[in-house]
Structure 1
Amino acid sequence: MSPRAVRGPAAVTAVVASALAAGLLAAPQSASAAEVRIHDIQGSTRISPFAGTQVSEVPGTVTAVRAFGSSRGFWLQDQRPDRDRATSEAIFVFTGSKTPSVAVGDAVRVSGTVSEYYPGGADAGLQSVTELTKATWTVESSGNELPAAFPLKPATVPDRYAPDAGGGSIEGLRLRPNSYALDRYESLEGMRVSVEDAPVVGATTPYNELWVTAEPGHARTARGGALYSSYRDPNSGRVKVASLIPFAQRPFPVADVGDALTGTTAGPLDYDNFGGYEIQATTLGALEDGNLPRETTRAQKADELSIATYNVENLSPKTAQAKFDRLASGLVHNLATPDIVALEEVQDDNGATNDAVTSAGATLKKLTDAIKAAGGPAYEWRQIDPADDQDGGQPGGNIRVAFLFNPERVSFTDVAGGDATTPVRVTDKDGEAALSASPGRIDPGNPVWKDSRKPLVGQFSFRGRPVFVIANHFNSKGGDQGLDSRFQPPARGSETQRTGQAQAVNAFVKKLLAVDAQARVVVAGDLNDYQFSPALADLTAGGVLTDLVTGMRKDERYGYVYNGNSQVLDHILTSRALRRPDYDIVHINAEFADQSSDHDPQVVRLKP
């Protein structure tokens, strides 16, 4: 049972009032108990025509009870549906922190206030849940048979995801459940639904949730996930599964991508701000282990330079030693000891303690010690401490990017002068590109880096040849409207800053290539955006860089899993002089419930 399923009292928001004023919704009406049924309350749009009004003696059968947390209540479903596919036949009766005195199978009549609850608040941009609040009820009979669950499957879930409102709200539009997946799910809000033999496409989270797909044949990855490869196709069959079954009676399954919930998984269809539509399961399928292996990559040859990127997820000396050990094992064994590693999310020496400490020597020493203990080399590191609380991330953590390198295989060209605020410049040394500072930060005063990590560039030497590596961690997608937003298509507000960051890095690479067209440049890191995004288009503009993920087989283009979508956020890009790169995304984290990071690392092998 998820501790995240909590909320305060439901209320009619200003969103509903403005929709009514604009004429997008029918005005509330009063009706006697004999006239009002659940499908009347739900209506044929996303907002109830009775929002804010009192209803009395609404009949239905209790199909499930949430008896935990501060969002307790029960789902009520009408046994006498209407013929309108747009109108849901069920509703959630919200009782706050009080456990309702009803049982599954009770036939009840409920009186209360019709409310629209917006998970995360109205400003989050998500859809609402129609509820009955301040409710009273009477039980008329018990032990009644439950209505059949609506099957979610390819024939019932449309491939098209949502109507296009030009970025505006779709709340006032009549639901078209045969045309759009979001409309289908909304038309089933609160109703019993089911999936059969459902593939797991998002591993079990610490909150006891997982993701399955109701469209097993649609856009699958090579390892069983749901591939997110364009804005046009968010994979409409994805649905989250939580459980209403007491864990003492049935522990929640610990599943990885590639597993399956065999048999029937069924329960009322709910909606929350941590992933949209979810089945609150009263029946859970049996977990079938897909035995998904963690990948390993081949070792580099003597004449190959291997460069990796790895988001180590808020790593600090306060992090458990077990995580350091697992990261180290992954670098040594799964990534075959890369010559250079671009790290992201390296925190300062006291982690999230919010004080003036910005150094990260203790963090990096703990990691390199763990690597050596795992049988790896004695890595050295280079990085620049950020100005305190200027680079975003967890408050007090001062996350930054950093380089590890194996001095037995590669050397670092140290040039003094790099600090948090001084921009590194490209210099000309007898026709060869060089750096005014190595390591150095790219354009740190540019507003595009506000509250975000500044890129770090360093010059390395491999077999006598210079190689420039730029480590990056672009701004996150925080604040973007979700795929299941009531605004369609959803706004991606964070994209503006990332495109500016991409342009800044692209401009720096062009300066290197202006001095030496054959400069060997590798851009790597967590760019927080997709290979088909405007940011990546700007980063590769002019053909100065190639995004290596685009050369992979389509069903292998992912290294992060979010809400059941396997997608690309991390990248390695190379300049033209680095021909025939051998690139690999090494799947050891993102698809698994047991992770050392939420990102998969990547590695490229080059012959400079």
Structure 2
Amino acid sequence: MFATCIVVINPQRWVLGLALILLSSAAVAGAGQCGDPGTTALDRIAGVDGAPLPEGREVIIEAPVSASFPGQSGLNGFFVESDMPRVGLFVYAPDVTPGAAPKPAERWRLQARTGRYRGRIQLERLEGLVHCGAEPVKPTAVPADTLDDPADFANRLIRIDGPLTVTDTYQLGRYGSMRLAQGGRAFARNTGIKGGTPFPVVLDDGSYRRDPRPVPYLDETGVRRAGDRLASVTGVVTHAFGEWRIHPVAPPAIRSANPRPVDAPRRPADSALRVVQFNLQNYFIDRGGRGPATAAGFQRQRTRLRATLRALDADLLVLHEIQNKPAAVDDLLDWLNEDQPPGQHYQATLSERSAAVIRTVMLFRPSRLTQRRAARHADEAHARDPIAAVFEDAQGEPLVVAGAHFKSRGGCPEHGDVDRGAGCWAERREAEADALARWLDDWVEADQLAEAPVLLLADLNAYAEEQPVQRLVEAGLVDQLAQRVPAPQRYGYVYRGRAGYLDHVLATDSMAARIQALTSWAVNADEPAYLAREGEGVWRASDHDPLIIDLK
């Protein structure tokens, strides 16, 4: 006679019972008792030295639990791992409640059947569980710079020693996961910036549920930003939804290395003018299309964008992704000017427009600038019209500012202008750059574009080394971000874990001589995407960071 703990599972109704009872060895049905012969080794089930066992094969195993994520709030199961050789398997147990589930560092004997889920070998259809005492699993130490193939550690408990950099928080609020990079922040190709290398394992949260609340991995201020640092994490590596993931068994060691810049960049004391470029991420006054789906969501968007723009206190605004409707521009002006003294009011440079879903608008303060003329470039090359205006400042100095927003990198056609390494529609954007350069060269009324004081603020949807940017450089404009901003800070947008800058500040030499400071306000790109719906204040009010140009 001996004492043991059994979970008996009725195979007809899959009903659990947990009992601590006295029984003889003959009383343990199905799984048998701890130490009995007739078990199948984990490496035999997984096919380490041959073919794995086919699906549906009934097996009995006895092994320690390395990690447990029970219930629908977890992974509906637990992991077991053998020592010689080191092999891990997932045990799918959706009917085992969290209170009755096997726990890490416990040894269990179980009867189940072999199965597959999206190609992963697992055990399922449990028929009995017997607790066999304590047995901890020591995690395998894996330095981050040696983890080349996560498949070598599939379903095993490991400790990854960094440092690693959080390089993307986009899915943090949706699925509780973050992308990492080794050697610093990862940058998009064609940026001309050598950044870190994307790490082959996603940091997950021990669950595949949507919209986990509370959101995991937040710091003491309630946020987790790209650029933060992970020192180490211990968890089980597994493959799901097309990627290798690590589900921690203890809170990972993450340091907030990229804190929020609470205050907007200060204007230099002797700055004459401040110019801001900002993509508002679909500012639409109508519901049912782009932008927030509800009136309440739209009001939140307005409030948060107003907080951002008022904090920046620009004399001239170049804004992208505005609904191509005069009422949308009027709405912008209404809340920008509301409760402001007349000297702070804005007006639009022009109202003409071509047919398009979105547009770029230019707003300026007449108290600071005098507009001499303005125009748009309606050309078949353009997805939406570039605009330009000639101003004079308080000293009578001329200033030519142009704004443009080129064709998106997404939505590839089936044939033709597909992604060949520079995103979809690269040829279209190249044609847009050529058309814009020709137009500006004619419109500025100078012998050559390079001789005029021109400042081009454009979301080119192209990175610095791609042809649209290079064509504009060849026309006489200079990439001011590349000239003035250190490489690690040269980004304002993050896509699939890679940072870069699609929003450009290009200037002729005579205009560049007037630039006193050029910076961004990193309030959006590093922030988790769920804050677009749930955040407050300036944080993730858009998916692009605003660019600030202070002129002498």
Tell me the TM-score normalized by structure 1: 0.62
Distance change in 2, residues 1:374/1:587 (3 Å): farther
Show the counterpart of 2:549. Answer: 604
Distance 1:186 1:597 in 2: 37
8 Å Cα contact 1:307/1:341 also seen in 2: yes
Aligned-residue CA RMSD in angstroms?
A: 4.4
Q: Secondary structure at the residue paired with 1:513? A: helix
Distance 1:479 1:149 in 2: 44
8 Å Cα contact 1:383/1:401 also seen in 2: no
Show the counterpart of 2:307. Answer: 329
| CA apart distance, 1:40 | 3.8
| CA apart distance, 1:412 | 3.8
Show the counterpart of 1:90. Answer: 88
Distance change in 2, residues 1:151/1:315 (3 Å): farther
| CA apart distance, 1:523 | 2.7
> Larger strand proportion, structure 1 or 2?
2
Distance change in 2, residues 1:231/1:467 (3 Å): closer
Show the counterpart of 1:570. Answer: 503
Show the counterpart of 2:452. Answer: 519
8 Å Cα contact 1:38/1:91 also seen in 2: no
User: Once the two structures are superposed, what CA deviation does each residue of 1:444-471 show, in whole Å capped at 9, x if it has no partner?
Assistant: x33xx5xxx5242122312352514022
Show the counterpart of 2:224. Answer: 255
Distance 2:280 2:488 in 1: 25
| CA apart distance, 1:278 | 3.3
Give yes or no for the alignment of 1:545 onto 2:477.
yes
Distance 1:200 1:375 in 2: 44
8 Å Cα contact 1:107/1:141 also seen in 2: yes
Give yes or no for the alignment of 1:103 onto 2:102.
yes
Alignment of 1:38-57 (within 5 A): 40-41=46-47, 54-57=56-59
Give yes or no for the alignment of 1:579 onto 2:546.
no
| CA apart distance, 1:409 | 1.8
Could you list the runs of 5+ residues in structure 2 that have no partner in the other structure?
A: 1-37, 286-294, 529-538
Match of 1:37, as an amino acid? D
Q: Percent identity?
A: 18
Match of 1:80, as an amino acid? D
Show the counterpart of 1:308. Answer: 276
Out of 143, 150, 174, the residue aligned to residue 153 of structure 1 is 143
User: Once the two structures are superposed, what CA deviation does each residue of 1:482-537 show, in whole Å capped at 9, x if it has no partner?
Assistant: xxxxxxxx965772403421332233213432662123333323333432344433
8 Å Cα contact 1:505/1:539 also seen in 2: yes
Show the counterpart of 1:76. Answer: 79
Q: Which has the larger radius of gyration?
A: 2
Distance change in 2, residues 1:411/1:65 (3 Å): same
Distance 1:361 1:249 in 2: 38
Give yes or no for the alignment of 1:504 onto 2:502.
no
Distance 2:520 2:320 in 1: 16
Give yes or no for the alignment of 1:190 onto 2:155.
yes
| CA apart distance, 1:248 | 8.7
Give yes or no for the alignment of 1:235 onto 2:200.
no
Show the counterpart of 2:19. Answer: none
Distance 1:82 1:197 in 2: 26
Q: Secondary structure at the residue paired with 2:425? A: helix
Out of 317, 325, 340, the residue aligned to residue 341 of structure 1 is 317
8 Å Cα contact 2:343/2:367 also seen in 1: no
Distance 2:468 2:57 in 1: 50
Distance change in 2, residues 1:471/1:33 (3 Å): farther
Distance change in 2, residues 1:82/1:280 (3 Å): same
8 Å Cα contact 2:343/2:365 also seen in 1: no
Q: Secondary structure at the residue paired with 1:293? A: coil
Match of 1:532, as an amino acid? E
Distance 2:378 2:254 in 1: 49
| CA apart distance, 1:286 | 5.9
Distance 1:37 1:539 in 2: 60
Match of 2:79, as an amino acid? L
Q: Secondary structure at the residue paired with 2:150? A: helix
Show the counterpart of 2:22. Answer: none
8 Å Cα contact 1:93/1:135 also seen in 2: no
Distance 2:399 2:430 in 1: 23
Task: State which drifts further: 462-471 or 233-242.
Answer: 233-242
Q: Secondary structure at the residue paired with 2:548? A: strand
User: Once the two structures are superposed, what CA deviation does each residue of 1:22-61 show, in whole Å capped at 9, x if it has no partner?
Assistant: xxxxxxxxxx9947737845899xxxx7699555538465
| CA apart distance, 1:601 | 0.8
8 Å Cα contact 1:378/1:406 also seen in 2: yes
| CA apart distance, 1:327 | 2.6
Q: Secondary structure at the residue paired with 2:197? A: coil
Match of 1:145, as an amino acid? E
Q: Secondary structure at the residue paired with 2:332? A: helix
Distance 1:209 1:364 in 2: 35
8 Å Cα contact 1:547/1:574 also seen in 2: yes
Distance 1:441 1:347 in 2: 18
Alignment of 1:127-138 (within 5 A): 130-132=120-122, 135-136=125-126, 138=128
| CA apart distance, 1:67 | 2.4
| CA apart distance, 1:252 | 4.5
Show the counterpart of 2:388. Answer: 458
